[in-house]
Amino acid sequence: MTTTSNRIATDVERGASFSFTVDGQDVEAYPGETIAGAMLAAGRRVARRTAWRAEPRGAFCFMGVCHDCRMVVDGVPNVRTCLTPVRAGMVVETQPGFGPAPSFGAPEEGQR
């Protein structure tokens, strides 16, 4: 019964895999996944380090409420990775504290 992958493969077919990076390392993802989903499937759980205690945090509510899964995505801080679809070539980084100061550019499509 125990699976070796966090991806359930018994009842769905996935499209072609692609990769994005988390802190510079390649991570595999499939169409239809969020950043947090693809990270969990790869066994990566830490999304950010808190501002004061530098404690690790990861996705908790998976519905955009808790804000603990926020990361720096293509340079934009505080992106809720549990809601944001993952795209090929995305550059995702563990967010330290409140994240780098934003550049005030328009967010990429799909970021929320």
Partner 1 sequence: MNTVPVVVVGGGPAGITAAVEASRAGARVLLIDEGPAVGGQIYRQVASELRRRSGADGYAAESAPLFASLAASGLEVWNDAEVWGVFPDRMLAIHRGGRSLRLQASALVLATGAYDRPVAFPGWTLPGVVTAGGTTALIKSQRIVPGRRVLLTGTGPLLLAAAAALVRGGAEIAGIAVAASRTAFLGLVRRPGAIGKALDVLATLKRGGASMSYGYGIVRVEGRDAVEGAVIAEWDSSWRAVRGTERTVEADTVVIGYGLVPSSELAQLAGCEVTYNAGQGGWVPVAAPDRFMATSVPGVFVAGDGAGVAGAEAGKLQGVLAGIGAARHAGKLDDRDAAARAKQPLRDLAKMSSFRAALERMHAPQPGLFELAADDTIVCRCEEVTAGDVRQAVSDGARLVTEVRAATRCGMGLCQGRMCVPTVAGLIERHTGVPVGNTGRLTARPPVRPLPVTALAEEAER
- Which residues of the chain form contacts with partner 1 (CB under 8 A)? 1-3, 6-15, 30-34, 37, 40-41, 45-47, 50-53, 55-68, 70, 78, 80, 82, 85, 104-107, 109, 111-112
A 10 A CB-CB count for 81 gives 26
Report residue 42 as tokens: 């790869």
A 10 A CB-CB count for 86 gives 25
> What's the closest the beta carbon of residue 72 comes to partner 1, in angstroms?
14
Which of these, 91, 42, 89, lies nearest to 71 by C-alpha position?
91
> What's the closest the beta carbon of residue 106 comes to partner 1, in angstroms?
5
Rg (alpha carbons) of the chain, rounded to whole number: 14
> What's the closest the beta carbon of residue 76 comes to partner 1, in angstroms?
9
